[in-house]
Amino acid sequence: MDFNLLTIFPEMFSGFLKSQILRRSIAAGLFQIHIHDLREFTNDKHRSVDDTPYGGGPGMIMKPEPLVHAIESVSAKKSGTIRRIYLSPKGKLWSQTEATRLLKYENLILLCGRYQGIDQRVIDGWIDEEISIGNYILSGGEIAAMVLMETMVRQIPGVLGNQASLKQETGSDADIEPPHYTRPREFRGRVVPEILFSGNHDAIASWRQQQRQQPTKPKSKRK
């Protein structure tokens, strides 16, 4: 899997790329992440990527030329299947199922919008699908692109130290992950459920199974 980010804020990804899971997996060749600065695809001396909207209205719109130039030049260097995605609040809502679906492509191009969004002709002519990470408006697609990548890469075999942890996660197994506890046994008056110390693996498994079926409850307010 090869992720290609198109953005006017490449520096936003530097902290993300330093996380241990990503660094280790990229070094092991499990996937790659390439960050492309959209301003490198402009051809005016101000390296401008935006312009005023036709018909008037507030804000600026990302111009088609640098976006299409970037999509075409990145695509031309790739072999294998490619999916070109625009992160957009109007897109299909992101989910674990969507993450699994997109893993079948060898290359993803993730176009991060800014300002009031991008020229519609880019979406119509050069984008395969739009994806939203939630029903709210971000200032740009960069954080949304990180959400997509982080959800996807943890499903790539070898990325997580312990593949079993992936299997029991909420969302991947159609129900809810049971609660987890670690030392100390008692913390500020809150104790770990007794069953977890029983040594009875069948009883623990059945307690966990029962916990998986509990709907998530709103937590009572802290004093």
Ligand X SMILES: C[S@@+](CC[C@H](N)C(=O)[O-])C[C@H]1O[C@@H](n2cnc3c(N)ncnc32)[C@H](O)[C@@H]1O
Q: Contacting ligand X (CB under 6 A), which of 49, 67, 71, 117?
A: 117
Three-class DSSP labels, the chain: CEEEEEECCHHHHHHHHCCHHHHHHHHCCCCEEEEEEHHHHCCCCCCCCEECCCCCCCCCEECHHHHHHHHHHHHHCCCCCEEEEEEEEEEEECCHHHHHHHCCCCEEEEEECCCCCECHHHHHHHCCEEEECCCCCCCCCHHHHHHHHHHHHCCCCCCCCCHHHHHCCCCCCCCCCCCCCCCCCEECCEECCHHHHCCCHHHHHHHHHHHHCCCCCCCCCCC
Is residue 12 close enough to count as binding ligand X by CB under 6 A?
no
Is residue 121 close enough to count as binding ligand X by CB under 6 A?
no
Is residue 144 close enough to count as binding ligand X by CB under 6 A?
yes
Is residue 7 close enough to count as binding ligand X by CB under 6 A?
no
Choose between 43 and 139: whose C-beta lies nearer to ligand X. 139
Cα–Cα distance measured from residue 213 to residue 215, given in angstroms and rounded to the nearest whole number: 6
Is residue 110 close enough to count as binding ligand X by CB under 6 A?
no
Choose between 54 and 136: whose C-beta lies nearer to ligand X. 136
Which x/- pattern over 66-105 shows residues binding ligand X (rule: CB under 6 A)? ---------------------xxxx---------------
Is residue 10 close enough to count as binding ligand X by CB under 6 A?
no
Is residue 133 close enough to count as binding ligand X by CB under 6 A?
yes
The strand pairing partners of 112, in sequence order, are 87
Phi-psi sector, 121: left (phi>0), alpha (psi -120 to 50), beta: alpha
Please count the residues of this chain forming the interface with ligand X, following the rule CB under 6 A: 20
Choose between 122 and 159: whose C-beta lies nearer to ligand X. 122
Is residue 27 close enough to count as binding ligand X by CB under 6 A?
no
Is residue 158 close enough to count as binding ligand X by CB under 6 A?
no
Is residue 64 close enough to count as binding ligand X by CB under 6 A?
no
Choose between 88 and 155: whose C-beta lies nearer to ligand X. 88
Q: Contacting ligand X (CB under 6 A), which of 61, 141, 151, 159?
A: 141
Residues that bind ligand X (CB under 6 A): 87-90, 112-114, 116-118, 132-134, 136-141, 144
